[in-house]
Amino acid sequence: MGKLDGKVALVTGSGRGIGQAIAMKLASEGARLVVNDLDADPAHETVETLKKQGADAVACVGSVTAPDFAERFIKTAVDNYGGIDIVVNNAGYTWDDVLQKMTDEQWHAIIDCHLGAPFRILRAAYPVIKAKAQAEAAEGREVFRKVVNISSVSALNGNPGQMNYSTAKAGVIGMTRTLSREWGRLKVNVNAVAFGLIHTRMTTADAKAGATIKIEGRDIRVGVNPEIIKAHAQVTPLGRGGTPEEAAGSVYLFCSPESNYITGQTIAVAGGPQ
């Protein structure tokens, strides 16, 4: 018996990296998954991996910033599983530059991905969650649902070259606090995790080598300067960056029944205090 047996969990950006680790962790505790990725192959590969491990999962492929995505994402959960219990807004990327070099396109793309997309997904989820919560209340049952938004220590401390990303992730914290007040009456816990340096394809690539990934037709630089990673390890109390599995564990904490009386909170998952 898992602590999330029968729960329906939607995780954006779960075809790879941290999102995939989150999906795997929630599935290991019995959740049924709606997996999303920008690209079809990673999404379907993750679904197949989950199924091989005995989990129930379906894919909803596409960009979280597409105009029709939020409704399609929610509909996938309702059509396949009849409801929604957990929403993890994880999808994202960085497109860095210092303020004077940052374009409007860079600004709006990152704000929309990290802040606009979660807003639209949660708005689309509201009618489903409200109907379920009202029916459960009428039956005298108390059922908690979970929203976990992904923020960053860049929102807490700022980070040079990340005006767009830091601003979007700070907005996620405001969204989390506000929604916790609006949805508390529906028995929805709304919390956020602010990740520090987590070793994924976005960070382990060598920035000096000019590594890029393609996102919606754009070649986006990725990676962290190896000297920065070394310096980070020296000043971080735990002495290293985190793994996707450790990042997923923090999200799971906010999805578990033990978090039923915790809402509106942001915790830093960064190997030390921020």
User: One of 81, 93, 126, 165 is an active-site residue; which one?
Assistant: 165
Q: Does residue 93 carry a catalytic annotation?
A: no
How many Å separate Cα 16 from the centre of its chain? 12
Query: Which tokens hold the place of 85?
Result: 């219990």
Q: Distance between CA atoms of 167 and 26, rounded to whole angstroms? A: 29
Q: Distance between CA atoms of 151 and 268, rounded to whole angstroms? A: 9
From the CB of residue 217, how many other CB atoms can be counted at a distance below 10 Å? 5
* Side-chain-facing half-sphere of 237: CA atoms under 13 Å: 6
* Side-chain-facing half-sphere of 174: CA atoms under 13 Å: 11
Query: Which tokens hold the place of 123?
Result: 């708005």
Catalytic residues: 165
